[in-house]
Amino acid sequence: MRRTAVVSRQDGFTLLEVMLAFVLLSTALALLIAMLSNGLRQVRQAQDETEATLFAQSLFEQIGTLEALKAGVREGEFAGGRYRYRLTVERVPDPLPVSAAPSRSAALESLDSAQLFRIDLQVQWGEGGAAQRLNFVTLRARAADGQESGGDS
């Protein structure tokens, strides 16, 4: 009598296939977590920059309106010390001297007495080497000393 060997074949996955699937799944999850983490970091950075910009805008609005526009350096803090700023105001010479100017009307002559100021504002947050910084620069004009614009003194 002849015996035939019956090969029983089981359906399923081998250990190697299961391990490979876990490696692929863990790699995909690691990439997903890295992308989410990077996205959260960028959102936080954008939030900090937006807040620093709003503080800078608030400070710029005060200069020349609520407080006198004069040359000098000032430092301070916002938000309980979270943001630090350094404000530098310096007088800028007239880019077009009177001797080089063409003939002017009376209205333009009155502008000659205006003084031009450059306002440089640096806002910084964070600690140590990871500190973030934004720099804002603008120009403002003011009536020359002894001449006030806008009515009676």
Give CA separation, 104 vs 59, 65, 107, 110, 143, in Å.
Answer: 36, 29, 8, 10, 19
Single pTM value for the model:
0.61
Scored b (16 or more CB within 10 A) or e, 83-117 reads bbbebebeeeeeeeeeeeeeeeeeeeeeeeeebeb
**pLDDT, tens digit (0-9, with 9 covering 90-100), for 30-76:** 999 999 999 998 998 899 889 989 998 988 888 877 787 888 899 99
Q: Report residue 37: phi and psi, to 5°.
A: -65, -45
pLDDT of residue 152: 40
pLDDT tens-digit map of 74-122: 999 888 888 999 999 998 887 766 565 555 555 555 555 678 889 999 9
Are 76 and 85 a contacting pair, CB within 8 Å?
A: yes
